[in-house]
Every structure is written in structure tokens, then in C-alpha cells.
Structure 1
Amino acid sequence: MNEAMEIQTGFYPDVDLQILDSKDNIDEQIKDIEQLISEPVDILIVSPIKSKPITPVVEKAFKKGIPVLVVDRKIDGDNYTAYLGGDNYQVGTNAANYLASLTTSPKRVIEIKGLKGSSPAFERSSGFNDIVDTTPNLKVVKTIEGNWESYSIKDQLRHVLDSIKDVDYIFAHNDRMALGAYEVTKEKKLHNQIKIIGVDGLNGPNGGIQLVKDKKLLATILYPTGGDEAIRLALKILNGEPVPKNNILSTIVIDSRNADIMSNQFDKINQHQRDIERQQVKIRQQEKTFTTQKNTLKLLLVLLILSVLLGAYSIYSGYNIRKKKRELELRNKKITIQRNQIKKIAEEVKISNDAKVNFFTGLSHEFKTPITLILSSIESLTENKVIRDNKLLNEVNLIFNNSKRLLRLINQLLDFRKIEDRKFNLKASKTNLFQFSKRIFKDFEREAQKRHIKFSIHSNNEDLSIYLDRNLMDKVYFNLLSNAFKFTPNNGTISIEIIDDPNTNFVKIHFKDSGIGIPKQELQDVFKAFFQGSNNNKSSSGIGLHLSKEFVELHKGTIEVISKHGAEFIITLYKDHVHLNSDEIIFEPDIIDQSITDLEVEDYEDDSFSEKPILQDDERYSILIIEDNPDLVKYLKGKFSTDYTVYVSDGSNGIEMAFEFIPDIIICDVNLPGKSGFEICKTLKSDLRTSHIPNIILTALNNKESYIKGLESGTDLYLTKPFSFAILSQSVKTLLYNREKLRYYYINNVHTIDAPEGFGQFEQEFILKVNELIAQNLDNSKFSVEQLASSLDISRIQLYRKMKAILGVNISDYIQNIRLEKAKALLQESLLTISEIAYSTGFSSPNYFSTSFKNKYNKSPKAYRED
């Protein structure tokens, strides 16, 4: 049909044919018609997929004044201009009459109907069954409904053929379903028994005529496409000529008697149509050639006129161009000078700004060291319980709390710099939200009691655990609560309420106070950096709420503010962890509910006179402290001197002192004169003399990049200021304890270590090298410690200290033990005499060997061999 319409349209150059195919989807067909109505078109040709659903939109087009030609299938109603199509009722009657003419004996028929709701399916079935009902020798034993495609009826037909026997004919409403029926009968080996009639009678491969010629179908009822008739009828309607309401195309039966004739006729028609198409193409090519030549001639004429005009204009404009060029050169030179000046000023501003920011950041880091000293000193006072007076205890509490507040402000300034540089990484862990909130709540209880503020916390689900970064959310809580206490008068109210809505995946945390509130017109600005409300007469940095919003949004949450009677901040967070990336989740033990222990004078015990064992210098571990802050050095030296031998360096000679004293552990700052702490640590870890010494980095730098840099330098522990001396002291003890375990491992495995694997790679390499040199000189009685140290390229005292640090033994004893272990093996496994064994293991005489062997194994070599 489409092909016939396109061919017919070719005879009318002023007609533009647009074909939209909805692929048997009624909803898409309705959309297509709506689109054509909106354009609008001059005439609408519609072939309905289904009659009822398509009727309203066809009537809409008709009522808008667009002529509508309905083809192939009718709609429900008469609101269209004309109908063109075959008589589907006649198609059904022709099929029934044809079957009736074939036999006088009773025959059983299966009818395969088209798409339910389409007018062709209804009319063809009506015509077919009207004849069958009046014909005694025909009986419809089963009806199957398809959608005009072969696949839609196969399963149904298989089931019917399995259940109904002695079927003689199948009438399918189109050739595609008829072909599907043939394939099913052939599959069941019934194709010679059951004859099939289809509808359409199209020519070409898989067309009804070809199927009849191939004897797959008994017959097909010709249903003319009517494409050319549709175009001619549409043009009549557009030209205002009268046309009938119903235009019916005739149908005939095609069977083996006339299939070849019909096929040849269609082939000739198609050939004729192709000839017409080729002629039309040639005509269009000739028209295109003529048009091109005509346009070329016009263009040449125009170009000639333009060239004359442009020649005259070019002479005139040449002078002006040269003049403008000189002006542009001068202007460009001036702009270049100005640009260079602006660039230079911008670079100077950038350098100045970077210097200010770096100074600000560095100064903020420097604040941490004196705060560390203050907090550590107070911690020492409380640990030693030297404060008895309650008044003095309150003063110490005041110093301690304000030091922590100062530290929090400094950290807040540094956090602001990190937020600006986008250097924060979320480290969320599973946390009981109520216990986390309650722990911070207790930090503010004393302030609330002192000012008679009603301070409360409540949750409707105290067992709820969510994923949050405790460090960042701790800062959010403190910022919100600090603001609440700052702006709430005495005898006011402040509350924390946690609301878990079981119907959503979110939890809300409300911070509400009865303070001065926030002006309504300023609510949208409260989270901006450095913003201060017009009613705020208290000192404030203006970055606390800005940081809080950034930290909450890092959790993919939101924070909002309401101000009616006071202020209310509402934080909304996810309850699960699907919103977080895998690298944003860490494991940390959950928080337990424990009260914050304050400084008390109760349970005081004076242990000032308790006796502690005094260790000799050679029994003590030694610590090298590399730090340029004299107060911190003095503090650490005073704390460690009781139990350790302490060496101190300001950083200028830290490496040299490490090589000289070979300490048991090193505590090192990062910002030092000369080399940084990272460089010192890396140098000591890569040097044979000091590679075994544990290193602790102690610094105010607490960003991720510095932490990674510390690990890369080989540090064993990274502590940030301010630090707790109790943590530092325990860390020193733990590292030394681990070093003792390593030493025990070497002492018990020194003769079986074959390769540097596991922990302590540098130490294992060192021991392997020592063992190798001793083995090479085992029979040399003159091989000395000095020669071994020289071969290792270190001094005798450094060799002594390193062996002492790793194995806890004297190097001379170590060489002697290896000689004796080798001699013991030879006594067990060889036939050498005792004298030969003595000389082969480097002893100067058999008597000396026997004495040494008996001292170690409590038996003489001879007795050992006999045993």
C-alpha cells in the first residue's frame, strides 16, 4: 500500500506525502495522528489498527476541518470524509462459498481471526460465519484469535490440533497467519490432510499468490491494497470534487487455477510501475540539470557584477585598511603592556595571598605546641593528684576547659582552610547516634547547671546506629551547642531531640534553644562564611555554621534552620550506608555510654614518697628527642628522665646523634631547622646503623597528605599535637615491647634465617650479612670484632650497639656462640678429631676450645661426642 501510494504521488510534484508507521502499536498511532493534527496537514489518510481506540482522535481531526480518508479498516462512527477499502464482509463470504463449492460431504473448519477490535477481523468473521451457518456441509469447530502475525496463533493451533481430530480446512484472516498455520500442520504432518485459505493475495516472496503456487495454501482471497486509489481519492477531496462516502474495492478468490495468471499480471504491473519510476527519476534529473545550469548562469552574472563592484571597493578600502592597521597595532601594543602589568600585579597578589594564608596556617599549627604543653601539664597534675584545694581545682578546670576551647577554635580555623581547598575525606563508622549525642551532651551539662538552663536530650530510638564521621560530626554538635549556649539567656531552655521515622530512610536531629533567634530576612545567609547576624553583639568568627553545613553535606545530609521563639537547627542524615563510597567507610569500635570524668579531689592518695626502683644507665632504654621547641623538650625530658636515658637534639644534628648514640627509640617533630622530620626518619630507616630503631613522628600536621608522607618515610607511629602524654608514653612502651619480641625471634631463629622476609627487613639483612662474614672466617682464629665492623663499614662501637639493640647480646659472645654451634654440629656429624674441629672453627688451641665448649654445654667435647 505504501509503495503504491508513493508511486502514485510521483505523478504530482506539488504533493508532499508523509508516512508514519506505528508498528501495530495503537498508542503510538494515536500520538502520530495528534502530531499530524498539530502541524496541520491538508488531508489525513488513516489505516486504523483498532477501530474503537482510534475513533476519538480521527473525529478530533475531522472536527478541526481536516479531511479524513479512512482506508482498509473502518472506525466506530461516521465522522470521516470517505472510506476506501475492500469489502471485508465479502472477503469472508467469498472464502466460505469457495469452501462450500469444493465438497458436498460435511467438512470441519478452524477459523483464525485477526486482531480483536479491528473492523476487518469482525467483518471477515461475520461474512464467513453467515455463509457457514447456511451451508450444511461446513462446520466451524474452533475459532482462534491472533494479531495478524504468524507467531501469535502457533501455540493456540498446536493445542487445538492436539485436542480436535479430523479437521479439513483452516480459514485464516490473512496470509501471514495462514503461513503460520501451514508451518504448524507440517510440523504435525497434517499438511496433506488440512487445506488452508488465507486473505490478502499479495504478489512476491511469502505473498499469498506465491504460497498458493508453492501449494502451501489451497487459496487466498485477494484484498487489494488500494494505495494508488487512496491518493487519487485524496486529491479529489482536496480539489473539492464530490466523492462517495464508501469506496469499496472488489475481491476475488485466487487458487491454483488462476495463481499464475494473477502473478504474471502483478509482475507486469510492478514492472510498469518501475518503468514509470525510472522515467520520473530521469525527468527529475533533467529538471535538476536544467535548474542547476540556469542557476549557474545567474550566479556567474551576479559574480561578474560583484567582481566589478568589489574591484572598485578594494581600491577604496585598501587605503582605509592600512590606516586601521596602524591604529590597531598601536592599540594592541598598549593592550599588551596593560595585560603584562595586570598579570604582574595578579602574580604579586597571588604570592602575597599565599604568603598570608601559609603564615596563617603555620601560625595556627604553632599554637598547638604551647596548648599541648598546657593540657599535658594539667593532665600530669591530675594524674599525680597533687591538687587538694577545691578552689585551686576549679581554677585548673577553668584553664583546662579554656585550653580545649582554644584548641577547638584553632582546629576550626584549620578546618576552614581544608574546606576551602576541598581536602576533607569522610571516614564514617557505624555509631550509636544516641550514645554519641549523649557523650557530647555531658560536656555541656556543667555549663547548663551553672546558668540554670534546662538542658535535655531525647530520642525515640536509643538503639539506632548510623554511619557518620565521629570527628566531623563532633565538630558540628559543638558548633551548634556552643551557639545555643552563647545566645540563650540564663534560665532558658536548650534541647537535643533525635527523631527516627520508621517509614523513611532518614533520621532528624533537632537542636532547639530559647535564645535571641535569627531575623527572618537573614535565615538564608546563616550558613555563609563569616556571616554575623544583625542582632549578634557577641564575638564570633562567623565560620562555625559554615563548617557545620559543609561537614553535614559530606555525609550526604542536609541542615536547615527555623527561627520562631529562639532558633532550631535540623540535621537530616541517612540511616544506612548505601549513599557512601567504600573508601568513605572505616571500622571503629562503637561508642559506649560513659560519663566524662572531671577533675575531683576525692580518692586523693599522696604517693609522693612511694619508692620506685632506680635503674642504672646501662639497664635503661634510651630515647632521642628531636624537637626545636625548648618548652616541649623540657617537658618531655622531665617526664621521660625517670625511666629512660634521654638525648636531645634541636633538629640540626639529629641524624648525627642517632648514629653516635644508637638510641632505643626516637621521637621526632616534622617542622625543624634544616631537614624535616620526614627526611630524618627516612634517612635513619635506610641506614644500616639505625634501621632497627622505632620512630615516632610528633607533629601539628593532621592532614591526610602528611600522614601518608610519614608512613612513606618509614615512621612506626604518627601522633598529632596536642597529644596526651599518657598515649605517648604507652606508645613508647608498646614499640619497645614489640622490639623485644623481635629480638626474641632473632635469638631463637638466628641460625635458621635464610631470607629477609616477614617483619624487620633491614635487621634480617644485617644479621644475614653478619652471619655470612662470620661463616667466611670461621676457621680464622685471628678474625676480630674490628675486622667484622670494618667489613660492615661501621665502627666497632656502632656494631656493638646495633647487635645489643637487635639481639641483646655482645658481638664477641655472638661470634663465639656461632663457632661453638658449628663445632657441636661437627662433633655429631663428622669423623674429625676434636683438635681438627677446634682449629676448623677458629679456636686458637684445642684446650681453649674444650674449656669454652664445657662452659656453654656443661660437657667436654669428648663426652658430648660419646653421648
Structure 2
Amino acid sequence: MKNLYCIVLIIFSLATISCGLDREQEDIYTIGFVQAMTTDNWRKEMNRAMKVEASMHPNLNLEIKDAHNDVERQIAQVEDFIEKRVDVLIVSPIQSVPITPVIEKAMNAGIPTIVIDRKIEGSNYTAYVGANNVEIGENAANYIISNSTPGKELKLIEITGLQASSPAYERSRGFRKVISKQENIEVVGTIAGDWEKTSVNKDLQSLLDSIEAPDFIFAHNDRMAMGAWEVARSENLTDSIQIIGVDGLFGPSGGIQLVKENILAATVLYPTGGAEAIKLATQLLAGDNIEKNNILNTVVIDKVNVDIMQNQFNKMNQQQNDIEQQQSVIKEQLATYNSQNYLLKIMVVLFILLLLLGLWAVYLVFKLKKRKRRLELNNRKIITQRNQIEKFAEQLEVSNEVKINFFTALSHEFKTPLTLITSAIESLGQNPNKQLKDFAYETSLISKNSGRLLRLINELLDFRKLESGSFRLKPLKTNLYEFIENIYEDFKSEALKKSIDLKLESNIKEVMVYIDRDMMDKVFFNMLSNAFKFTPKNGQINISIEEIGEDKVEVRFKDSGIGIPKEDFNKIFDPFRQAGNNAKPSSGLGLYITRQFVELHKGKISVSSHQGTEFKIELLKGKDHLAAYEFVEDTLEIEKEVSAKELESNYIPEELSQSIDENAETILIIEDNTDLSYLLKKKLLVDYKVELSDGTDALEKALEIIPDVIICDLNLPEKSGFEICKELKSDLRTSHIPTLILTALSDEESRLKALKAGADSYITKPFNFEILKESLRSALFNREKLRYYYTNKIDQVKDNKFEDSEQAFLKELNSLIEKNLKQTGFNVEDLAHQLGISRVQLYRKVKAIMGISISDYINAQRLSKAKSLLQETNLNISEIAYEVGYASPGYFSTSFKNKYGTSPKQFRS
């Protein structure tokens, strides 16, 4: 460490010495400029000219302060420059008298002071730069005289600058001096401005209203001249009044451009003097003698010489830009030179140090190699541990996600039968006086769904036993065909209800195997349950039993359902997992338990998928493979086993009839659970028309019937309730329909997702039927309130966020009706075609939103337009009738009287 310290000290010393070598000390001078204000282009041009000129002298530092037209502030800024001891002070006074003492203070402090644009009281300053303001006034007066008819009476208005400023006083004095010598010229008014355009508007307008229009207006600068022109334009006097300004700036809003655009008759060039002031400052710093008063040349610019002046300014600007670019290049080159020079010195120093560092580096290399080896070993250990942690974290994350999905699906599996049981019990409780036979369907639901809950609980218990390894087989000699036939019989009624062709085939009916009947009952029952779950109506399910050789039996379960993706073949047998195309809720344990039970029998289970799904179960004949278990010999006829399926009632509900008023609201229930959809329909038929969809044709059915309310489940075969709700709300034909989401998911994320999809209500299972009915009433009541709003106040809608889709639809509807109102033949078909929907869908949507037919609505729009024409125009009755699309004035009068209770003629009078 001591050696390293010495080397660093040497480097620092050499670097310090090298930086000090050949450093050129160059005097830097500071010029302080106090600007009166920068609210106008003339003063901005003055600042720019100073900066450009100062940039020509690398040893000059120009510092500009803006007083913002505040005298006190300007005095403080001058005193600040005095305290800083600037080398030259430049001041553009706001007012002459207040600024004089501080200028004298600067002179007494030995600071050369240049006064620019405006003078101060007395002559205690180094130099003055500016145009002769008296001469500017004289030039303006001479221009007026030279451009007027000799002997003709002329009337003038003078607009002065700020009264306390020297330019305003001197310009007015020069102007009046020349004008007073002319007997035929009269100054009919004087307006005191403050150099800004807005300061003249009110007074000039008042003056022009009280006198005859003058021939000329002389304004002390171009901005006030522009303000005078705007007032003259508002009085339509621009052709009779010629306006002369002062400044003659170049640019889009400068005086030269205003002359070229014939806004001003002329402008008197008033040079800024910015560059001249910097030149005088450099002469003072060089010790040269300069003139006390430096008067800048001025000239009148009118339409005769405006092009020449503009061309000159263009060339000057171009040259100035070229100079600035050249200066920028020179600065870059100087910076490059300086950096290279500095780098060269540093390189010399570094070369000297390189030799010293070489020895130190050799020593460090050996030392670092040892440390590097140590660190590499530690890094390998850390990387290995990190990879293990990351892998474990990924596995834990996947496991957690799978388990969360499992519990979510399991809750859905429990909630649906619980919903049906509680709804059935509610029905029993609400009608205690009825006979039990009147509740055949409800008791069937309770029995059926109790069995379903029992199966789910048994499935969880089986999973727990399998995980703990506590299952013991009780093999019993069994006729496999008869065993499977018993289960097959249990599913016949389900196949009949779903119109599924269920078949059992076998090449031999005397197949004896040793199996644990309880386990294999669950295996085969699970196979058939899955097949029925994923096979659509009018599908097929085939069970085949076949002997393979002398020692094997193969049982196949094939269905014509949705199939299983090939990449999911192995995954579906893992706990909590299911196929990627499976949108139906499931615990994910069934196939896992099935595989475990089959493997306990030393059998195999596999899956394939082609136009459906086929599961193949291989069982060994004989009992040698089950030698570890205790056998039960029974050669008697196997009685029919009581499977879990027997707990479910095969009660087939009767067809429900729509027996209510045909004007009742229509409800579409989208639910794939037939028991739940039937139960909801049974309960809601008392008050509503009810249509059902299992989810496969939900959108088509909604577009066909255009219901008043939709109840939609979340877990459906093809599309989720979220997707269906979003599509319905995005479609013009169904966007107005309130949608109630019915689901077992109660988490906030699902609720938020449903609301974003456009759902009007979110009801979780198990639910109270009265809550569902009240939600339906509330949705219909809110729709009725919107119907009233749209019918009576659509023209008052201002908030574009209020019911966007319905408001947009009605505005488009009104726009198309208004556009085609004159056409006698315009009808509902034409309107529907232009909207891009069918006539029936248009009728239903308008009826749902506004409660009236579309034809009545078109007629109401025609009569409303006619009413406005009667009030606001002088058209006769026949013309108005044709104007709003009536083919006959007589029919129009009759319709109008039916609508408003009076004839069109009486209404107008």
C-alpha cells in the first residue's frame, strides 16, 4: 500500500506540472448590458446583434440583464454590474430621469458607460449610440408631405410612445416641427401609447368614432402602427388612411414585411445599434478614443424601396449566418486543438509513469491470480446454489399455480351442486303445503347433486390415501364384462338425455380377472364420466373389451368429443393437471387416481386422440401379479354393484311451457349445466319469457331473439362468459342488453374482468334466488330509466362518456333519419340497410332502448321537424309536408293533428 501511495503521488504531481506548462494566460473582459425590456422583436434584434458581434471577439464575455420595463429593477441591475466591476457597461434606459443617477455612479466608479437607444439627463456618459429620433420624426413628416396632393387639406393623428422616454419626446418634436410649417395640415388628435400594440386600440377607436377619418396616422413604432391598422380595419377605413410606423425591422412581423403587405404605407428605419455598441466597447477596452455621440443613419422604407431593403437584409442575414457557422467551426477546431495538445502532454506524463507501473503491475498479476482462483471457486459454489434456488423457485411457482387452479376448479365443482341443492331446498321451503310428489324434480336435484358432492369428497379421500400409500387391494375374481355392463347400464339414461350413441362391445363375455371392485368401479365410472363431459349432443361413445393373447385384457373407452392435444398426453395423468383445451372446471384428480388404481393392479393406462379421445386400460389375467395381496375367492354370480351413479336420480324433467303474457320481457340463460338452466327456467317462467343456450350457440341465439336480459355462466364449453359478454357488448345489435354473470369464482380479479367485459352484475354461486330475481328487476329498471332518457332527452346529451355505444347508435340513427327526411319512400328497410343490420334487429333494438317501434320513431321525427319549420320558416303547409317526406299534404295534416291535437294551420297561427 505504501508503494502504491507513492506512485499515485508522483502521477498527481506530474499531471499538475504538465497542466501548468505553457498555459497561455489571456485577458477576459466582461461587458454588462442592461436591456430595458425584450417584449418586442426590435429589442430582441438588438440583443442578437450584440451577441453576434461579441462572438467575433473570443476574449469578450457579454452578460445581458432584462429589466422587464421596470425602472427600479433596471437601477438594481446597473448597481449589480457596478459591484461586479464590469469592464464596460451598456445601458438602454427605460426612462431618462430615474436612470441618470445610477449611470453617473458607474462613471464615478471608473466604469466606461455606453447609453444606447435612449438618452439620459445630462451628458455624464462615455458614449451614446442610437438614431437621431428628431430626424426620424422629421422624416415621417416629410414623407407625408411628399405623398400628399399640394394644397389639399390633410388631417393627421399622432400616436406617441411612452411619455417619459426620450425617443417619444424627440420623435414628436421633429414631427411637429415640420408639420407646423404646413398651413394645410392639421393634427386632429394625439394618442399616448406605451410602445405596445394594445395600448392604442381603445383610445384610437374612440377618436375615430368622434372625428372624420384622417388621411395619415403616424405611430412612433411599427407595433403601435399595426395596432392602429387593426382599429382602422375594424372601422372599414384601411383604404382611406395611410399609416406610417418606425423601426423597419426585417422578419415575418417586422415593419418591412408590413410595408410589403400594404398594411403600412411606410416605416422609418430605426437601427438597433447593438453591433455598434459592442464595437465601441472593444475600442474602449483597446484604449482607443471614440466619439461621444454616435448617430446611426436612418431612411424611410416604402413600396418604392421595400424590395431593395428586404434583399439587402436577406443578404446581410445570410452573411451573418455564414459568419456564425464559420465561428462555430473555428470553435470546434480550437477545442479539438486544445484537447489534442492537452492529451499530448498527458501522454508524455503517462509514458514516464508506464515504466514505474510496469513493475508494480507484474507484482499485482501474481497476487491477483491467487485471489482470482479463490474467487472463481466461490463463484462456482454461488452459481450452483443460485441455479438450485431458481429451479426450486420455478418448481414452487408452477406447483403453487397448479394448486391454486386446482382449488379454484374444485370450488366450482362444489359450488354448482350446492347451488342446485340450495335452490331446490328454497323451493321446498317456499311451498310447504304442497305434496312431496309435486317436488319430484327438486328432490331429484337434491339426490343427484348430493351424490356428486359425495363423489368429489371420496375423490379427495382417495387422493389422500394414495399420497400416504395406505391403499391395500382386495382382489376378487370378477367377470369383467358383467362388471362393466353394470356401469354401462347406469349411463344409459344420461346417453338418452344427451342424444349420445352409447355402445358396449366385447369379443368374449366370459373374461375373469382379479380386481378390487371398488377401485375399478371408480376407474371405469371416471372414464365414462369424462367421455360424457366432453362429447357433444348426437355424439358417440364406444366401450370395447378384448382379450390380448392369453394373459391380457384390454378395455377401450372411445368418444367423439373435443379430443386432447398431443403435448398434453402425459400431463393429464398428473395431479391437479388437465388438458390445455379443457375449459370445463375440474379438480384434476380423476385421471391421476385412475392411473394409480390401474397401476396398483399392475396394469397400464394410455391415451390417444384422433377425432375424439380414446383411453386404453390393460389388465393382467390370473393372480400371480397380485401375490402380495389377500385374495377373496367368489365364483357366484356377481350381483349388480351399487356404483356412485346410483345415487343420482334418473328423473327426466317435463317440458316447461311459456304461459305468461306475450309482452313479458325475454331472458336468455346461457348455462351448460342442464339441471341449473332448467331450474332457473322453471323459477323465472312465472314472470318472464325464458330461452336457453348451453353456450355453443350463445351469440347466435342472442342475435336471433334479442332478449331483454342475459344470464351467462362463466365456464362454458367453447367460449368463456367473459368472451361472450365482451362480444355482445361490442356488437351494435346487442350492446344495449344487460348481462348478469353467474359463476363460482368470487375473487376480485374475476369480478374486475367481468366488469371490464361489460357485465352489469356479477353473482357468485351458491346464490339466493331472490337476489337473482332482484338483480334482474334492477337491470330492467335501469334499462327503463335509460329508455326514458333516450326518448325524452337525447338532444340534451353532452357527456360523451355516458353510455357511449347507445348514445352513438341513437345519434347515428337520428343523423340518418335527418339526412333522408325529405325522401317520401324512405322506410325502415332503408334505415336498417344503412346501419348494417337487419330490419328485425333494428326493430328490436329501438323497441328495447326507447319503447316504441322504429316506424313510429321515424314518423315522430318527421312531425317534430315539421313543427320546427312551422315555427321558424314562412313555408306553406304543402311545402312543409313535402320537406319532411309526406307524399300528401292532407295525410300530413291528419298525422300532425293526431300527434299535437291541432292542425298545422292552427298551430302556426
TM-score relative to the length of structure 1: 0.36
TM-score relative to the length of structure 2: 0.34
